[in-house]
Amino acid sequence: MSSPTSPSTAGEPAYRHYDKNRLVLGKSMQEQLRFAVCYWHSFGWAGTDPFGDPSFERPWHGAGEPMAQALHKADVAFDLFRLVDTPYFTFHDRDVAPEGASLAEFHTNLRRIGEVFARKMQDTGVRLLWGTANLFSHRRYMAGAATNPDPEVFSYAAAQVKNVLELTHELGGANYVLWGGREGYETLLNTDLKRELAQLGRFLQLVVEHKHKIGFKGQILIEPKPAEPTKHQYDRDVAAVFGFLREHGLEHEVKVNIEQNHALLAGQTFEHEIAMAQALGIFGSLDMNRGDELLGWDTDQFPNNLPQVALSLYEVLKGGGIGQGGLNFDAKLRRQSIDPDDLVWAHATAMDLCAQALLVAERMLQDGALQRHVQQRYAGWDGEAGRAILNGERSLEDLARDVAERGLDPRPRSAQQERLEHLVNSYL
């Protein structure tokens, strides 16, 4: 693989905007972005689709001894981390270790790989952004994990999460993620919604309880998605997740990992979901990939749209930054991009685009014109009358009397959307 670290005119990827040591709003660019490479799409996915066999013929995808293949995969993974100079990585348990013939064997295999990770992390300085358990691929989870009608499947999933949460803790992970790809239903004809929601709530409570028991200081994150693979998933978007967390007393314990493609499938924009999470106090981290707006499924493409990413990072910066989260490239090469160097190109160019977007977002924030417009638009609520309404000092009768006595006849004012859109374009 080729390194992207220096500009070149010979067709090699180059960082023209990403300088990890450059200060942006008082923090290094590396700390503001906290890039991570995901293990599953980059090293586990073989280039299949519903109509086609694997198109990537990677050496570690062959028919060799499973643990030897896993060790080979780890070597290649940390080589890519070095080449693109990413500070973090993410993994599912099933990506990094063979499952074997039993859960005990799976745990043993995972621990062996964990020891390899620990050595490589110490040698390279690469850290773990988050770990997670795959509770959706194996056929045992075809009817869900936490929401499965069989309590034995629930228990098996809990044991799997316990092991990965503990390994994430031991490796110094900053977060632990739960994605409920099968936590939903295909038809109401065989589904008890109330029961399944109660099961899912208890499962999350168990994870949080164990987090505190083992002293894990990272964030527990849920990754919202409305559908696919399940027809209707319970964690469809940020607002739905927040309502669910409040119902189960977890709104101060669990946050969200937001993905652009999932937001699109939910009928939202990436920046909307980020702003909503910030407003509700549950913003955690980002999966930085994109969907194809002409396709109705999760295409998991690397980001390449500067205005979209800039607006998203503007919302992140407005809320105080990425915190313990990061920008994880939960993205796949296209099935026809079969060269190993395509992995370098994809990550390096995506990192550079995000860095460029961060600089745009910094200009937007420092200029302050957008914030001033919003403040002026809502200025009345900062006055005496507005504060009295929100503080519960005015009844419905009080407000009606005030309108009548003052003869109020409010006139609408322009929201000036077109001017603001032009202003945003001027920062690009």
What is the set of active-site residues? Answer: 92, 95
Cis preceding linkage at 229, omega within 30: yes
Any bridge partners for residue 100, and if so which? none
Give Cβ neighbours of residue 156 (< 8 Å, ≥ 6 apart): 103, 140
Q: How far apart are the first and last CA of the chain?
A: 32
Tokens representing 320? Answer: 């105080």
Residues 237, 407: Cα–Cα separation, whole Å: 43
Of 48, 163, 177, the residue nearest 97 (C-alpha): 163
Contacts of residue 190, Cβ cutoff 8 Å, sequence gap at least 6 = none
Q: With 0-12 CB in 10 A as exposed, 13-18 as middle and 19+ as buried, what is 322?
A: buried
Rounded-to-integer distance, Cα 175 and Cα 171, Å? 11
**Distance separating alpha carbons of residues 55 and 57, to the nearest angstrom:** 6
User: Quick count: other Cβ atoms within 10 Å of Cβ 135?
Assistant: 29
Q: Nearest 5°: CA angle at 92, between 329 and 219?
A: 75
Are 153 and 120 in contact by the 8 Å Cβ rule? The answer is no
Sign of CA dihedral 279, 285, 288, 290: negative
- Identify whether the C-beta of residue 255 lies closer than 8 Å to the C-beta of residue 277: yes
**How far is Cα 7 from Cα 399, in angstroms, rounded to an integer?**
64
Rounded to whole angstroms, the Cα distance separating 183 from 330 reads 20
Match 């009345």 to its residue by tokens: 380
